[in-house]
Structure 1
């Protein structure tokens, strides 16, 4: 579901996540701070990718340059569609070919776990990143977003913060936004036309077909816009 909320920058709280670069890189495994249940498995760590997603667990995805390519013949790998057994349990708040944004200070990745057991929240933040100019024009010269993991409820949230329009005219671009389990097609993905507000996002299962999470410079996320994913309740036991 999509809801209006607030965005709070982590600032200097928590821990900065080191990566080899701000273009295509995976971090070392980072602690969540509690046990998080996802897709029938328990996780205490995650690996951050600079291209706007994490893989739950201690092992990295199959590559660092992972995003849905704009050219069908490009060598990059879409982490959602990838059949590689390493590319599972993916949480993607904004998976695109991202690089450092234009704001002072450069790009930063950070994690902070707050609250007290059994209601802690792990917040993973991408700060001052930008969609790279490839075949289409850069649309966001600086954007900020977070992934939140909730203890006990196992809710996942994508929260979007301040976004600065790029210097180029509006152009058609598409990001991968959503969740993947352990198989191709085992997904919940956001679906948005380029002209629609982020509040109008809908959600699909399976893979993208005719559209993805399409965006443009004049239609940024409203600050605090949140995509919330709530686990399905366990099936009731059969009555005797």
Structure 2
């Protein structure tokens, strides 16, 4: 019997998923916001690393190690810069932004805990940081302790607040402790931003929603003791990858086609990469197969699966594998003395 040649098109391996330091251009505006109250504020002033910001005004401490890779809006960060003016920059900006408005947002990874013209020039003021927990659930905390607004120094308005960054979930959290009295008008901003036009901003210190279209610069009161503001990325942690499905193979010898798809998988804020394997042991990325479905050409027994990556971080997951085979011949005949199969 005449045999038709068997071949498999396997693309050259290429790096499909980014490593730490890569960017997938996601937005801060897509983060969800939630406010809770009544939380216990746990200070790190007695256990954290002391910065050089205490006793200073309009100063930044840069290149502070987070202790793990933290993803914000699709970009990986390992260090942060901290300002006396109530903000932190994941992009490690070193020029202080005094005026809280969109024109002053220095760029990516900008976290505004209480962005105003603040000062640490009073006795007992300082900023601390620490990383706690074990991988992959560590937490990086920055605390402004006994901090004041520039226009109202002294003990009357000494206040405490923290930024927390959570490993794996990549959640940003603002925690507020005891705040002093407010007798002088502030013009603060609270929220997160990735550019001057991409942000989540609170309209009041008790807001239950955050705006991505109106940037507020006039928050005139301190936040209530025990308040927690949480910003969560749309895709947090590893995506659900589900089951790989395939339509019945159709076509003629020597090749057939089958359409692969997923069921029970995360469908938003994820990137797809289909992979193939002859044995189920070694898997290779299929060139161009980066959609939720893939039309496979089948010339021999083969397996397919799909790797999903959350576009807001590096977390990945893998679907179940699906085996495909070339169907047996449906018609056998002889022509000019040669046996053929279709």
Shorter chain as normaliser: what TM range? Answer: 0.7 to 0.9
Deviations 1:13-71 (A, max 9, x none): 121111385210111310001110011111110000100001113x424x325232xxx
Are the structure 2 counterparts of residues 22 and 207 from structure 1 closer, same or farther at C-alpha, using a change threshold of 3 Å?
A: farther
Q: Is 2:111 the counterpart of 1:95? A: no
Displacement after TM superposition at 1:185 (Å): 1.0
Q: TM-score, normalised by structure 2?
A: 0.55
Do the aligned residues in 2 keep the contact of 1:81 with 1:185 (CA within 8 Å)?
A: no
Are the structure 2 counterparts of residues 95 and 139 from structure 1 closer, same or farther at C-alpha, using a change threshold of 3 Å?
A: farther
Do the aligned residues in 2 keep the contact of 1:3 with 1:199 (CA within 8 Å)?
A: no
Q: State the partner residue of 1:226.
A: 228
Deviations 1:72-117 (A, max 9, x none): xxxxxx4x4337xx53321110000001376xx4210000110110
Are the structure 2 counterparts of residues 138 and 212 from structure 1 closer, same or farther at C-alpha, using a change threshold of 3 Å?
A: farther
Choose from 135, 138, 145 the match for 1:127: 145
RMSD (Å), alpha carbons:
2.6
**Cα distance in 1 between the residues matched to 2:139 and 2:54:** 27
Q: State the partner residue of 1:13.
A: 47
- Report the secondary structure of 1:203's partner residue: coil
**Cα distance in 1 between the residues matched to 2:47 and 2:181:** 27
Q: Is 2:103 the counterpart of 1:81? A: yes
Q: Is 2:216 the counterpart of 1:203? A: no
Are the structure 2 counterparts of residues 3 and 101 from structure 1 closer, same or farther at C-alpha, using a change threshold of 3 Å?
A: farther
- Report the secondary structure of 1:227's partner residue: strand
- Structure with larger Rg: 2
Displacement after TM superposition at 1:207 (Å): 4.2
Do the aligned residues in 2 keep the contact of 1:132 with 1:138 (CA within 8 Å)?
A: no
Q: State the partner residue of 1:191.
A: 203
Displacement after TM superposition at 1:184 (Å): 1.7
**Cα distance in 1 between the residues matched to 2:146 and 2:187:** 19
**Cα distance in 2 between the residues matched to 1:206 and 1:140:** 34
Do the aligned residues in 1 keep the contact of 2:41 with 2:175 (CA within 8 Å)?
A: yes
**Cα distance in 1 between the residues matched to 2:200 and 2:97:** 22
Q: TM-score, normalised by structure 1?
A: 0.77
**Cα distance in 1 between the residues matched to 2:43 and 2:54:** 23
- Report the secondary structure of 1:130's partner residue: strand
Gaps of 5+ in 1: 69-77, 193-197
**Cα distance in 1 between the residues matched to 2:110 and 2:135:** 25
Do the aligned residues in 2 keep the contact of 1:25 with 1:64 (CA within 8 Å)?
A: yes
Gaps of 5+ in 2: 1-33, 236-267, 273-290, 294-342
Do the aligned residues in 2 keep the contact of 1:52 with 1:98 (CA within 8 Å)?
A: yes
Do the aligned residues in 2 keep the contact of 1:25 with 1:65 (CA within 8 Å)?
A: no
